[in-house]
Structure 1
Amino acid sequence: MTLAHDVHGSGPEVLLLHSTVGDRRMWDPQIGRLGARRVIRCDLPGYGESPVAAEPADVAALVLELAGPQPVALIGSSGGGQVALEIAARWPARVRGLALLCAAAPSLEPSPRLRAMWEQEETLLEAGDVEAATELMVRSWVGPRATGETRALVRRMQQHAYEVQLAAADVDDLDTGWSVDTVAAPVLLVTGAHDLPDFHDVAAGLAARLPRARHVELDWAGHLPSLEDPEPVNRLLRDFLDSV
Structure 2
Amino acid sequence: MARIDTALGAIGVAEAGAGGVPLVFLHGVGSDKSAWAGQVAYFGGSRRTIALDYPGYGESDPSSAGEDAPHDRFAAVILAALAALGVGRFHLCGLSLGGIVAIAIAHRAPARTASLILANTFAVHPDGTAIRDRSVAASSDMAVLARARVPALLAPDPDPALVADLVAVMARIDPAAFRLGSSAVWPANQRDRAAAIAAPTLVLCGAEDRVTPPALSDALAELIPHARRVDIPAAGHLPNLEQPAAFNAALDAFLADLAPA
| Both proteins in one fold, TM over 0.5 | yes
Number of matched pairs: 236
2:88 corresponds to: 70
Aligned residue runs from structure 1 range 22-171, under 5 A: 22-34=31-43, 35-57=45-67, 58-67=73-82, 68-105=86-123, 107-110=124-127, 120-125=134-139, 128-144=140-156, 146-163=158-175, 165=177
With the length of structure 2 as denominator, give the TM-score of the two structures: 0.79
How far is the alpha carbon of 1:130 from its aligned partner? 3.1
Q: Displacement, 1:23?
A: 0.3
In structure 2, the partner of 1:7 is 15
Percent of aligned pairs with the same amino acid? 29
CA contact (8 A) 2:153 2:211 kept: no
Which 4+ residue blocks in structure 1 deviate beyond 6 angstroms?
A: 175-178
Gaps of 5+ in 1: none
Query: 2:209 aligns to what SS in structure 1?
Result: coil
After TM superposition, the score normalised by the length of structure 1 is: 0.84
Name the CA shift for 1:70/1:54 in 2 (closer, same or farther; >3 Å).
closer
Q: RMSD of the TM alignment (CA)?
A: 3.0
Deviations 1:43-87 (A, max 9, x none): 111211113213135221221233345321001111011101111
- Partner letter of residue 194 of structure 1? E
1:174-225 Cα offsets, whole Å, 9 max, x none, are x999722321111111112211274423311221121220111223110000
User: Amino acid of the residue matched to residue 18 of structure 1?
Assistant: H
Partners of 2:190 and 2:64 in 1: how far apart?
18
The offset of 1:20, in angstroms, is: 0.9
For 1:25, the aligned partner's letter is S
Gaps of 5+ in 2: 1-8, 68-72
Structure 1 pair 108–144 and aligned structure 2 pair: CA distance change class (3 A)? same
Name the amino acid aligned to 1:181: A
Give the number of the structure with larger relative contact order, counting CA–CA contacts within 8 Å between residues 6 or more apart: 1
Whole-Å separation in 2 of the counterparts to 1:213 and 1:241? 13
Whichever residue aligns with residue 169 of structure 2, its letter is M
